[in-house]
Amino acid sequence: MYTLPSKLKLFAIIFMVIGALGMGIGFITAPSTTEEVKEMMAAHGDGHGGGHETTHESENASHDVAAGAHEGTHGETAHDNEDAHYEHTLHQMQNRPWSALYIASFFFFMIALGTLAFYAIQYAAQAGWSPVLFRVMEGITAYLPVASVIIFVLLLLSVFHVNHIFHWMDTDLVNPDSPKYDSIIAGKSGYLNGPFFLIRAAIFLIGWNLYRYFSRRNSLADDTAEDSRYFKKNFKMSAGFLVFFIVTESMMSWDWIMSFDPHWFSTLFGWYVFAGMMVCAITVIAMVTIVLKSQGYLEYVNDSHIHDLAKFMFGFSIFWTYLWFSQFMLIWYSNIPEEVTYFVTRIEDYKLPFFGMLAMNFIFPVLLLMNSDYKRVNWFVVMTGIVILLGHYIDVFNMVMPATVGTSWFIGIPEIGSLLFFFGLFVLVVFTALTKAPLLAKHNPFVKESKHFHY
Amino acid sequence: MASRMIHAIYNDDDILMQAVKQTREARYHIEEVYTPFPVHGLDKVMGLAPTRIAITSFMYGLVGLSVAIVMMNFIMIKDWPQDIGGKPSFSYIENMPAFVPIMFELTVFFAAHLMVITFYMRSKLWPFKKAENPDVRTTDDHFLMAVDAGHEDVEKLSKFLYDTGALEISLIENDEDH
């Protein structure tokens, strides 16, 4: 049995407190009137002296591009005068702490969900190498119920207009009599409307959590079982879950990520989000395994298990890049205005995060994890894992931020605060869950093979 | 140069592995082992150096990538930068996404084919090569371990190999020049 080190608990709680403070500062410092925005921008201008005028000009220019591309979204006259511009910036700045919160909570949510999918794949494929890691995976998926509640609350707050990060939730957009009427969004309102959005979210979350609950229960019951009854149940259930998962995951990514840009759509988006999710999940499985192993808890885990996980990290990093490039290149190549704005805004306003994450998520893992020997060196896997995780945080950042805060982005206190808070919560929940059951699923039919797994 | 060799034949890969282990522990020199299929872990037991073919493949891949980049930079950007369907051919980086499929394929092409050719050259394999098979049964269901008997007591070595479980032991005298 694993016992939670009190230092780790303290460590997690410190992270949560600092993170909560950061988030609080983010919400307090967000401007509430256009006057405050003017003051903030004036202060910014003083600081930069003469440079202000030119940056302001170029900002306006890029806004015009965005506005032109979004057509009715911001109204045709939105940028005609200064006040409208300040109001636009105000909305962006007000969205920033909410977006930062949403991104961080989604990021850790997707780690838990990806781990659950990976766990189901291991059961369905009857993998012989991984059963010694099942309890580690179950520990990580213990974060799923917590994350589901947080995500659902955030979606509820959005639907009830507490924040405005989902643009399409503005009821004026679908009202033909309103000056803000947007025929494109109105045309999608059969799918994108508050109640249906929440019902879908509830179905996804309940479905995933049910699988997580029953598979964990069967896995624990299997430890004392006389036969393979519970293993067979889990096998069948995981096959069913994977079918449910791939449909709901795809829809989830349309709902929770793609709908930030309601004028834009991409068919392989669900796969793209899935690939990022799997990379993060496998990386976290490897890192938690290495931590537990280094503390002497996982007797039967050897270098070969780490090697296999590192191969998965390597493979899924390339798979992610393949999907990223397939999405980018097809849109770049055909250059259809209604699709290409997505990448135009990202390349113009998010150049460093957009291309930086490509280096972090592709070039870095490819070069470092290509060598077979390096995949067995624990600190190498951990170092690469940290870069991969940060890279995928920025990936989610790039998917959400351009639509909600536009050019007013920065990775500052609200973003880092949210990240720290959810990191602390994740560590606390996961490592507490690991103490609840023995770290070896001892009756699993494949566990003996897994103990002697050697590559 | 005359050479003497003892060929010991086994019919089970587990016994062969044990025999190889014992022979090496007894400090006899194993010239070669012939098996009908890859025996997992045999190279480790024999103490063979790990292959470096993956490293060559990586370098060939870099060559392929360079070829693709230099080729398309010359053709599409330097030599005749035509406007084809509005694609920006002002600099390589601007039009790079369109070149990536070719960069990828040429990397794989060079890495794969040159690695295979390297393998053939290092293993000395070619279409009209004379087979170096000491006993036809080793391609079907027998395993053969060739032990150098040049400076060994043949009687003692034969007895030792018999004890490792060999079915047949034969002394090969070879007077040909190698």
> Tens digits of per-residue pLDDT, A84-123?
888 888 888 889 999 999 999 999 999 999 999 999 999 9
CA distance A363 to chain B (A): 14
pLDDT at A54: 41
Secondary structure of A320-346 in HEC code, one letter for each residue: HHHHHHHHHHHHHHHCCHHHHHHHHHH
pLDDT band at A74 (very low <50, low <70, confident <90, very high): very low
> Tens digits of per-residue pLDDT, A150-205?
999 999 999 999 988 999 999 889 989 999 999 999 999 999 999 999 999 999 99
Chain B contacts of A328, Cβ < 8 Å? 97
- For residue A408, which amino acid is it? S
- For residue B149, which amino acid is it? A
Say yes or no for a CB contact (<8 Å) between A370 and B100: no
Nearest CA in chain A to B40: A455
- The mean per-residue pLDDT over the stretch A49-66 comes to 42
CA-CA distances (angstroms) from residue A347 to A62, A343, A405? 11, 6, 15
Mean pLDDT of chain A: 89
CA-CA distances (angstroms) from residue B150 to A182, B144, B145? 92, 18, 15
Chain A contacts of B58, Cβ < 8 Å? 370
- For residue A154, which amino acid is it? L
3-state secondary structure of A50: coil
Displacement of CA A273 from its chain's centroid (Å): 8
pLDDT at B154: 85
Among A51-65, A71-85, A239-253, A268-282, the range scoring the smallest mean pLDDT is A51-65
Whether residue A48 is predicted with pLDDT greater than 70 in this model: the reply is no
Site of tokens 């430890």: A223
Whether residue B178 is predicted with pLDDT greater than 70 in this model: the reply is no
pLDDT at B103: 97
* Interchain CB contact of A366 with B (< 8 Å): no
Using CB atoms, pick whichever of B54, B58, B97 lies closest to residue A332. Answer: B97
pLDDT at B77: 95
Chain B contacts of A333, Cβ < 8 Å? 97-98
- The mean per-residue pLDDT over the stretch A350-379 comes to 94
* Interchain CB contact of A333 with B (< 8 Å): yes
pLDDT at A333: 95
CB A398 within 8 A of CB A348: no
Say yes or no for a CB contact (<8 Å) between B97 and A329: yes
- The mean per-residue pLDDT over the stretch A51-74 comes to 43
CB B20 within 8 A of CB B45: yes
Using CB atoms, pick whichever of B54, B58, B97 lies closest to residue A333. Answer: B97
What is the full DSSP assignment across B85-149?
TT---SSTGGGHHHHHHHHHHHHHHHHHHHHHHHHHHHHT--TTPPP--S-GGGGTT-EEEEEE-
> Tens digits of per-residue pLDDT, A325-360?
999 999 999 999 989 999 999 999 999 999 999 999
Say yes or no for a CB contact (<8 Å) between A325 and B86: no
- The mean per-residue pLDDT over the stretch B107-113 comes to 97
* Interchain CB contact of B100 with A (< 8 Å): yes
Say yes or no for a CB contact (<8 Å) between B97 and A370: no
pLDDT at A71: 44
pLDDT at A423: 96
- For residue B170, which amino acid is it? S
- The mean per-residue pLDDT over the stretch B13-20 comes to 94
Q: What is the ipTM of this complex?
A: 0.89
pLDDT at A298: 92
pLDDT band at A64 (very low <50, low <70, confident <90, very high): very low
Torsion of CA A37, A39, A45, A49, to 10 degrees: 180
Say yes or no for a CB contact (<8 Å) between A332 and B54: no
| Residue A157 neighbours by CB under 8 Å, 6+ apart | A163
pLDDT band at A408 (very low <50, low <70, confident <90, very high): confident
* Interchain CB contact of A370 with B (< 8 Å): yes
DSSP at A224: T
CB A417 within 8 A of CB A17: no
pLDDT at A75: 47
Interstrand relation of B3-10 and B143-148 (parallel, antiparallel or unpaired) = antiparallel
* Interchain CB contact of B85 with A (< 8 Å): no
> Tens digits of per-residue pLDDT, B47-73?
999 999 999 999 999 999 999 999 999
Say yes or no for a CB contact (<8 Å) between A370 and B58: yes
Q: Using CA atoms, how far apart are residues B19 and A199, in angstroms rounded to an integer?
A: 68
pLDDT band at A44 (very low <50, low <70, confident <90, very high): low
Nearest CA in chain A to B84: A333
Interface test with chain B among A323, A324, A329, by most B beta carbons within 10 Å: A329
pLDDT at A69: 44
